Amino acid sequence: MGLVESGKIPKPLTKLLNMSRRYSMWVYQWGLACCAIEMGAAFASPRYDVMRLGVIPLPASPRQADFLVVSGTVTDKMAPAVRRLWEQMPDPKYVISMGSCANCGGPYWDSYSVTKGVDQVIPVDVYVPGCPPRPEALLEGIVLLQERIMNEDMAERWKGDPIVVE
Amino acid sequence: MATTESDQMAYIAAQAADARVNVEVETDEGMTLNLGPQHPATHGTLRIVAKLDGEKVLAAEPIMGYMHRGYEKLTEVRTYPQVTTLVNRIDWLGSFANEVPFILAAEQLMEVEAPPRAQWIRTVLFELSRIANISLFLGDMAVQVGATTPVFYAFRDREFVLNQIERVTGGRFHPNFDRIGGLKDDLPKGWIEETGAVLGKMRDFCDEMEELVLGNEIFQARTRGIGVIPPDVALSYGLSGANLRASGIDWDIRRDANVGLVYDEVDWKVWTHPDGDSFSRFWVRLQETREAINILEQLLGGIPSGPIMAKVPRIIKVPAGEAYVATENPLGEMGFYVVSQGDLTPFRVKIRSASFSNMSITPWLLKGVFVPDIISILASLYFILGDIDR
């Protein structure tokens, strides 16, 4: 994609590319705690069926994934592994933080072993609140992420600068 | 604390070596295989480090603590009613069952007793959460040995039970419904009839699972005679629940050491299996789900009328003392040892959770098995990470 790398994409082409990216996303699910079961209900159950949104669960490895769902409590012992697998994902990559624990620590806000929010380790695009959020809430979060991808300026996103967490 | 985010990043980077997720090859004592902490077969974040000779496991060691959230310390700064919010999240598939032993221990210290109606509804919700918990196991165990379809059926039919729990408590997952001295609310109108219909569906689900999974030749080949736990070893490692009963030991707290729940009022049976292998653990859990449906059908017909809350003070102060109450949770024996010094908060709470003891047998059990059997044995032991690490 020479056009993309040079940063000069005509607007209609951006729209087309964004639309195709939006409806063909592999999701890497990082099931950690209670939310993992609700995520399983959203991804693997016939009632909620995430595939109708154009999202494909269960990639073989994070290297194939387009976005990551961190569902559950991230502990200080687990945080390096979260960071490591996020680093293995190819750009452009997105992160959904699911549930209070991943958002801010949740009911363990004063615990000695829990990381208070996964956004201290990796950048987060969409926060889904709830303890645990219902599967519908996760689907809503995915739709919000898709809208965000649709309105994205690809030249800005793919300039080649690495994403830095401050 | 004065840690900045860059400090934390440095700390995390320093720990990164510990969390390296890859395969190392060591020449002198075989190959080291690392499973987890993020692996679909470990139900979350368990890590198993195994030494292999070819396909044979020489030694295996579970490494826990990736889900340690510090419950026992947190309970020391929460008031008694707030603690149920926390303990809900220990075994997240059968949440209501976690609240009951803690509430019963607190009731024992305060010397109050819930009215009969509250005890019956507690037992009903307890058994409903057992079905919600074990139905997922039935699907999950099949996934671990290579069959994908049953888990879709499990998720589909589990929703009906979760809906019933939600209609009473307001929460699909974490009800936080049990109170010291009774329950938060009464049953909604028409709930008993609806639950009866759902139980019929779950009965069909059990039959479906029996045909789909138990009768399957591949499933039997993968589980029969694999991971055998003899009765004496099961006892010495402190196993409980279906893992113990699958080794032929006839012990069920619901029948033999029942506290505060109404299992004596119904006619039911404890299922055991003499083999002690992965297959029998699946079989016992399937029969237990059927038995739970049986118990529920009898309980729903005879819920007594009356109040749902005993007289308790508005601000709960528990008198000084110690109490230990254990119940037969879906995963096994869960006990709470509560020490009170007469404050608003417990002085110390020790949680005896089933999965932690069930997990402790893995170094003994995984010695000498083949690599694919690690997965099916771990799945048949059925642990939940929140229950192991707390």
CA gap B222, B225 in Å, rounded:
9
Domain assignment of residue B28, yes or no: no
Q: What is the CATH number of the domain that holds B232?
A: 1.10.645.10
Question: pLDDT tens across A105-130, in order?
Answer: 888 888 888 988 888 888 888 999 98
Contact assessment for residue B35 and residue B372, using Cβ atoms and an 8 Å cutoff: no
Domain assignment of residue B62, yes or no: no
- The side-by-side arrangement of strands in the sheet containing B47-53 is B31-35, B47-53, B56-63
Contact B155 A40 (CB under 8 A): yes
Domain assignment of residue B207, yes or no: yes
Domain assignment of residue B61, yes or no: no
pLDDT of residue B20: 46
Domain assignment of residue B257, yes or no: yes
- Select from B5, B70, B152 the Cβ nearest to the Cβ of A46: B152
pTM of the model: 0.84
User: Which residues of chain B make contact with A134, given a CB cutoff of 8 A?
Assistant: 172
Residues 6+ apart with CB under 8 A from B231: B247, B248, B249, B276
Domain assignment of residue B87, yes or no: yes
Question: CA of B136: which chain A residue's CA is closest?
Answer: A37
Contact assessment for residue B238 and residue B360, using Cβ atoms and an 8 Å cutoff: yes
CA gap B232, B46 in Å, rounded:
26
Does ipTM top 0.85? no
Q: Helices in B145-184 by DSSP H: which ranges?
A: 149-169
Interface with B, mutate which of A28, A29, A34, A112 (most B CBs under 10 A): A34
CA gap B26, A69 in Å, rounded:
34
Question: pLDDT tens across B37-83, in order?
Answer: 777 666 667 888 888 888 888 888 888 888 888 888 898 898 988 88
Query: What's the domain range around B160?
Result: 71-389
Number of domains chain B contains: 1
Question: CA of A112: which chain B residue's CA is closest?
Answer: B70
Give, for all 390 residues of chain B, the pLDDT tens digit.
Answer: 455 677 767 766 666 555 444 334 344 567 777 777 777 666 667 888 888 888 888 888 888 888 888 888 898 898 988 888 888 888 888 888 888 999 999 998 988 888 989 999 999 999 999 998 998 888 888 888 888 888 888 888 888 999 999 999 888 888 888 888 888 888 888 898 899 999 999 999 999 888 888 888 888 888 888 889 999 998 898 898 888 999 988 888 888 888 888 888 888 888 898 888 889 999 999 999 999 999 999 988 888 888 888 888 888 888 888 999 999 888 888 899 999 988 888 998 999 888 888 888 888 888 888 888 888 888 888 888 888 888
Contact assessment for residue B380 and residue B223, using Cβ atoms and an 8 Å cutoff: yes
- With a CB-CB cutoff of 8 Å, which residues 76-115 of chain B face chain A? 77, 85-86, 89, 92-93
Domain assignment of residue B273, yes or no: yes
User: Which residues of chain A make contact with B86, given a CB cutoff of 8 A?
Assistant: 107
User: Which residues of chain B make contact with A108, given a CB cutoff of 8 A?
Assistant: 69-70, 74
Domain assignment of residue B384, yes or no: yes
Terminal-residue alpha carbon distance, chain A: 30
Distance from CA of B176 to the nearest CA of A (A): 12
